[in-house]
Each structure stands twice: as structure tokens, then as C-alpha cells.
Amino acid sequence: MSDPAQNIVRCASCDGFGWNEDEFRGEAEDCDWCAGVGYVYRDAAGRDFAIPKADFNAVADELESLELARLREMGYQGSAKKPWQQAIRKDTSLGEDPYERNEG
């Protein structure tokens, strides 16, 4: 379980994308603020900080529902990287394809 004193909010720096585009070079780089996750913890005092990799398992479900909500908000139709396809989430439960995992 995640700490109830900490809400998970969309990263203010990258707006949930997990990366920022370099305007000059046109390259995308992992967002420093959220470590490429797209979401951060917000504590009771309103401070945002990156979700530690060790917490990814605990917050996986919440991150996934937040991500789905964000994609719907954008009118998502295309083919963005799924959470389990992102290198940052390798070796966590988010590094596995949940559809594959749930089969059988």
C-alpha cells in the first residue's frame, strides 16, 4: 500500500509524459523531476517528489488508472508506450505486460 499521507499527482514538469522534449535538439529526455515516471508524490505539505523505484509495485495500480485517465483526457487514440514497455519500469510489476500476466 502507498502511504495515505502522500497523494500521487501528475508531474508538473512533464505533465505526465515522463519525458521532456529538448526544443533545440528535438530530442526527448527522461524528465528529471519524476525520473521518467510521469507522476510524483505530493505530501501533506504540498511538496512534490519523485516516486522511489522501490515503491513502484505498491503504486502500480494507481499509476495505471491515473495514466488511463490522462490518456482519455487527451483523446488518446494512438500508440504511446505502455507503462510496461518503458525501460524505467523494467524489473517492477509495471515492467510486465498486465494482459500477458493475467492470462491463464
d(CA 8, CA 97): 22
**Strand, coil or helix: what is 28?**
strand
Q: Which lies closer to Zn ion via its Cβ, residue 38 or residue 60?
A: 38
d(CA 104, CA 24): 48
Using CB under 5 A, which residues numbered 6 to 65 contact Zn ion?
11, 13-14, 31, 33-34
Question: What is the smallest separation between the CB atom of 101 and Zn ion, expressed in angstroms?
Answer: 26
Q: What are 52's three cell numbers?
A: 522511489
Question: What is the smallest separation between the CB atom of 8 and Zn ion, expressed in angstroms?
Answer: 12
Question: What is the smallest separation between the CB atom of 57 and Zn ion, expressed in angstroms?
Answer: 20
Q: Which lies closer to Zn ion via its Cβ, residue 51 or residue 60?
A: 51
Amino acid at 5: A
Closest CA to 41 of 29, 67, 59, 20: 59
Instruction: Give me the residues that bind Zn ion (CB under 5 A), please.
Output: 11, 13-14, 31, 33-34
